[in-house]
Copies of this chain bind each other. A is one copy, B any other.
Amino acid sequence: MYRTDMARPRTFDEERALDAAMHAFWANGYEATSTQDLCDATGLGRSSIYNTFSSKHELFQRALARYIDSMTSDQVEILEDAGRPPMKRLRALFARVVDSEFECRKDEHSIGCLTVNTTVELAGRDPEAAEMLARDLAVRLAAISAVIRSGQSCGDIASTRDAGDLARFLNAVIGGMRVSAQGGADRAALTVISETALDALNR
């Protein structure tokens, strides 16, 4: 079908372009990011973008997939660090969330989390995005649940609530922290929120 030999090679790195597009969608949302914005962000011409990614919507899906892959594998890695006790792992997860809100900023404001942003903006009317988000949510909930279960069985976590329920709770708090950050909450505020959330596991 394609003969990549004996033809003009690309002058750009597809992964880098995808990364730039991802940041554009992340900072401004799907609707507010125009195809021209994507050209500017990636440094590519319209032809190259459409030749490589087919459409704005497919480019968005690839950008979202990339974000989900990197963020969730990052978090799962923290959660599956068998060398540390469960509560320490959860604390590390929250610390990671707080840090992430101060990594990518724009005009002194957090740009939040692409997963949360997309859930709010698109989940209700973009079936493909909704399904990607649902699958990712399941993965994250499973990872958190596993840590909580092990914490409950070793006595590190006192709460007798269902591990899955506690995982949903922690996940909701993380989402709420993202929103709070976009609403202007500073590092201290986010830190206290996460500490308080962990209080709920110890009763």
Residues of chain A touching chain B, judged by Cβ–Cβ distance below 8 Å, are: 27-29, 31-32, 106-107, 109-112, 116-117, 119-121, 123-125, 130, 133-134, 137, 159, 161-162, 165-166, 168-169, 171-180, 182-185, 189, 192-193, 196-197, 199-200, 202-203
Contact B182 A177 (CB under 8 A): no
Taken together as a complex, chains A and B put the C-alpha atoms of A123 and B107 apart, in Å, by 11
Taken together as a complex, chains A and B put the C-alpha atoms of A174 and B175 apart, in Å, by 10
Contact A169 B182 (CB under 8 A): no
Given A32-B121, A176-B176, 8 further pairs, Cβ under 8 A: A31-B32, A109-B124, A116-B179, A123-B182, A159-B199, A161-B199, A169-B192, A172-B177
Taken together as a complex, chains A and B put the C-alpha atoms of A119 and B113 apart, in Å, by 12
- Checking B27, B123, B175 against A109 with a beta-carbon cut-off of 8 angstroms, the contacting residue is B123
3 nearest A-B pairs in the assembled complex, by CB-CB distance: A176-B176, A172-B176, A31-B31
- Checking B107, B130, B171, B193 against A124 with a beta-carbon cut-off of 8 angstroms, the contacting residue is B107
Closest-by-CB residue of B relative to A108 is B124
19 inter-chain pairs at a CB distance below 8 angstroms, sorted by A residue, are: A27-B124, A29-B29, A31-B32, A110-B124, A117-B120, A120-B121, A120-B179, A123-B183, A159-B196, A159-B199, A161-B196, A165-B189, A165-B192, A165-B196, A168-B192, A168-B193, A169-B192, A175-B175, A179-B179
Contacts of A133 in B (CB 8 A): 183
Q: A31-B32, A117-B120, A203-B203 are in contact. Are A197 and B179 (CB under 8 A)?
A: no
